[in-house]
Amino acid sequence: MGDRTIPLSKRYEVPGEAPFEKVVLREPTYHDIFVSGLGRPVEWQPSKTGEIVRIVYAEIIDAYVSRLIKAPSYGAISGLEAPDALAVAEEVCGFFRLSRTGLKTSEPSSSSD
């Protein structure tokens, strides 16, 4: 997979940092996921109505961003506006949307395999 580049909605200027319009994340490794104990940043659970509920763990997403960010610095992104912050979070979650064959999968269905 390699690095992921997330284009931002605007140019950010942070004192002491070069201006930036994108965030670059490296792919998580086995160590990031399992040895560090971070695990998955999102879970899918069935509800009583049969719908699938997505549970997102913001603190795990933030821990991944702090480990995976290549550009700009982790400190520089603290001022990202909501749409851009959510785009970065979705990209982190995207690293974990893989089937056993390594192909991207769609959102889980309510049927079981």
Is the predicted pLDDT of residue 104 greater than 70, yes or no? Answer: no
* Mean of pLDDT over the chain: 89
Inter-axis angle of helices 58-68 and 82-94, nearest 10? 80
Is the predicted pLDDT of residue 109 greater than 50, yes or no? Answer: no
* pTM higher than 0.85: no
- Token look-up 């913001």 returns 58
Please give the pLDDT value at position 101: 53
pLDDT category, 1, cuts 50, 70, 90? low
Please give the pLDDT value at position 50: 86
